[in-house]
Chains A and B, each alone.
Chain A
Amino acid sequence: MSGFAALLTRDLRLAFRQGGDVANVVAFFALAVILFPFGVGPDPDLLARIAAGVLWVTALLAALLSLERLFDADFQDGSLEALSLMPVPLEIQVLAKCAAHWLTTGLPLTIIAPLLALVLHFDAAGYPALIAALLLGTPVLSLIGAIGAALTLGARRAGVLLSLLVLPLYIPVLIFGVAASEAAALGLESRPHLLLLAALLAGSLALAPWATAAALRQALE
């Protein structure tokens, strides 16, 4: 079994056995979205207008919640140090951890999102674009978030600091994700925005593991 697969299965196995993490993320997402009708009033037109934005912002925040733990447990028990000494390149290991993070965060969010979109009276024509945009955008959230998680390992107030670092970098994903999701409802093409999201995904697949590995190495020095 290759190093990538070994690390991915280990992380998935741990997530499954320690339980709770996936449920926490999904529960937060659902609760936060449901708060909006209470906050802005139940007017269907208003909710439909803000639906895409609300879904994306809360998905972002939910993804952010679980990022803190991406490397922390391994850092605390010495596993990260041992992993950095393995022959498998650290960049590949980072990709494996990001994949595990996405499978336990981004993917469940993408699956739940259409249900929550119902609650917000999201325009039915926009569902394919919404799902496609989330499928493309949530991995980017995991990849960029990994950079922040690696940089803040062992810092004081790591959670708040992580948000401060990562949220500005999330803004392009948010902009294009919402634009793609809303396009169908506005009678516009969603393809250009989806292509931009795909470009962001390709770019972060190439660059984020490198930056994350550099940050991990200096955390271990």
Chain B
Amino acid sequence: MAGRELQKSLTGEGLACRRGERLVFQGVAFALAPGGALLLGGPNGSGKTSLLRLMAGLAPPEYGAIAWDGVAIAEDLAAHRARLHYIGHQEAVKLALTAEENLAFWTQMRGAADAIETALRRIRLDARATWPVRYLSAGERKRLGLARLLASPAALWLLDEPTTSLDAESTEILLAAIAEHRRAGGCVAVATHASLPLPGAQHLSLTGHTTWRQA
């Protein structure tokens, strides 16, 4: 399924997002080509997470539309969900289950084949695969959350602050995984404070699009 969806682009035009009664940003546009990377920057509250959530189809934009391969994602949200990985702020792991069980659950939900052991090995959690997650450190839990990217394929990766709590070695592994994904024709959008060295990435700063007036 991921193979068919590679080599396609994600575009957005005239996007505005409302959180509560506040218009967080407006007039935002982007074009993410196959193999491309989009870095979303801006201070807290500027709407980086909101834009990623719009891309994931979690909420409809106040104005504007997002399209995949020219077709609006709103027309077939189920297909859109099947083609993306969204890794948000929280790791979405259950403390009472083992690392292995957590990852197996997510791959089963995606209906993908088991690539669990390989994924755990790549993010260096294979030694602790049978530990309940409550005994893992914050960095290890974050890695487990990111392991979903490696365990089942998807054409579009949406990552929200993926490097928080990660040490240097884990960050390298993540960057290598992203590079491999891009080489295969997938695309990735990352919201981050840190300066991630992604070669050839576009930068989109949301500060200028904000209409929220400072007191």
Choose, from B27-35, B79-87, B170-178, the stretch at the interface. B79-87
Residues of B contacting A3 with CB < 8 Å? 108-109, 111
Binding site for B on A (CB under 8 A): 1, 3, 6-7, 10, 13-14, 17-18, 77-79, 81-89, 220-221
The number of residue pairs between A and B whose CB atoms lie closer than 8 Å in the complex comes to: 67
Which A residue's beta carbon lies closest to that of B105?
Answer: A10
Q: Which residues of B contact A89 (CB under 8 A)?
A: 78
Residues of A within 8 A of B57 (CB): 85
Count, chain B residues at interface, CB 8 A = 25
Is B2's CB within 8 Å of the partner chain A?
Answer: no
Query: Which residues from chain A contact B78 at a C-beta distance below 8 Å?
Result: 87, 89
Closest chain A CB from B96 CB (angstroms):
4
Are B58 and A6 in contact (CB-based, < 8 A)? Answer: no
Contacts of A79 in B (CB 8 A): 92-94
Q: With A10-B105, A18-B96, A81-B58 as given contacts, are A87 and B110 in contact (CB-CB < 8 Å)?
A: yes
B147 to chain A, nearest CB (A): 13
Contacting residues of chain B (46-61) with chain A, CB-CB under 8 angstroms:
56-59
CA distance A85 to B90 in the complex (A): 14
Q: Is B88 an interface residue (CB 8 A)?
A: yes
- Closest residue of chain B to A81 (Cβ to Cβ) is B88
Pick from B81, B94, B97: contact of A85, CB below 8 A: B81
B89 is an interface residue with CB less than 8 A from chain A:
yes
Q: Which residues of B sit under 8 angstroms from A87, Cβ to Cβ?
A: 78, 81-82, 109-111
B96 in contact with A78 (CB, 8 Å): no
With CB as the reference atom, state the residue of chain A lying closest to B112.
A87
Do B111 and A14 touch across chains, with their CB atoms under 8 A apart? no
- Of the candidates B84, B86, B96, the one whose C-beta lies within 8 Å of that of A17 is B96
- Cβ–Cβ < 8 Å partners of B180 in chain A: none
Nearest B residue to A221 via CB reads: B59
Could you name 29 residue pairs across A and B whose Cβ atoms are closer than 8 Å? A1-B108, A3-B108, A3-B109, A6-B109, A10-B97, A13-B96, A14-B94, A14-B96, A14-B97, A78-B90, A78-B91, A78-B92, A79-B92, A79-B93, A79-B94, A81-B88, A81-B90, A81-B92, A82-B88, A83-B109, A85-B57, A85-B84, A85-B86, A86-B81, A86-B109, A87-B78, A87-B110, A220-B59, A221-B59
Given A1-B108, A7-B109, A85-B58, the answer on whether A77 and B94 have CB atoms closer than 8 Å is: yes
Which B residues, 85 to 134, have Cβ-Cβ distances below 8 Å to chain A? Answer: 86, 88-94, 96-97, 101, 105-106, 108-111
Could you say which of B82, B90, B92, B105 contacts A6, with CB atoms under 8 Å apart?
A: B105
Chain A's closest residue to B18 (CB) is A221
When chains A and B are docked, how far (Å) is the Cα of A10 from the Cα of B93? 12
What B residues does A17 contact at CB under 8 A?
A: 96-97
Q: In the complex, which residue of chain A has the Cβ closest to the Cβ of B79?
A: A87
Q: How far is the CA of A1 from the CA of B106 in the complex (A)?
A: 11
Residues of B near A81 (CB, < 8 A) are 58, 86, 88, 90, 92
| A residues near B89, Cβ cutoff 8 Å | 78
Asked if A77 and B92 make an inter-chain contact with CB atoms under 8 angstroms apart, the answer reads: yes
Residue of B nearest to A13 (CB): B97
In the bound complex, residues from chain A placing their C-beta under 8 Å from that of B91 are 77-78
B186 to chain A, nearest CB (A): 17
Looking at A6, A17, A82, A86, which has the most chain B CB atoms within 10 Å of its CB?
Answer: A82
Measured in the bound complex, the distance between the Cα atoms of B57 and A87 in whole Å is: 13
Given contacts A82-B86, A85-B57, 15 further A-B pairs with CB under 8 A are A1-B108, A3-B108, A6-B108, A10-B94, A13-B101, A77-B90, A79-B92, A79-B94, A82-B88, A83-B109, A85-B81, A85-B84, A86-B110, A87-B110, A88-B111
**In the docked arrangement, what's the CA distance between A87 and B91, Å?**
19
Shortest CB–CB separation between residue A96 and chain B, in angstroms?
10
CB distance from B208 to the nearest CB of A (A): 25
Q: Which residue of A is nearest B56, CB measured?
A: A85
Q: Which residue of B lies closest to A16 (CB)?
A: B96
